[in-house]
Amino acid sequence: MESALNLTQNAVEEVKSLLSKPENAGKNLRLYIEQGGCSGMQYGMVFDEKREGDIISEKGGVNVLVDPVSLDYLRGATVDFNDSLTAGGFKISNPNAKQSCGCGKSFQT
């Protein structure tokens, strides 16, 4: 399947850890874009089941679901995970973003 986006090894390990929890059994990581945030559009991540039309990228044994509209904004993006106390969590580096806000959770195209 098409390689829509990338996950670093740290992100793969964290997603696998989260998917091992009972409430996430049988689900996949979904990345999406929605209106909002301080730059106009923001990233979203959730554990979800596959829907009609989803594009699936497999990275290190993790399936990542992206809907066709979000794919236009996320193509080529890299998801990383950092467990530091300051600025920790998932971070998306998006080559399609012309401008990102300081928090890294929203962007403009």
User: What does the DSSP assignment read for 3-54?
Assistant: ---EE-HHHHHHHHHHHTSGGGTT-EEEEEEEE-STTSEEEEEEEE---TT-
Q: Is residue 58 part of a domain?
A: yes
CATH code (residue 79):
2.60.300.12
Q: Is residue 70 part of a domain?
A: yes
- Domain count of the chain? 1
User: Domain containing 12: what range?
Assistant: 6-96
What is the reported pTM? 0.81
> Each residue of 51-106: pLDDT tens digit?
999 999 898 999 999 999 999 889 899 999 988 877 778 888 888 777 665 555 54
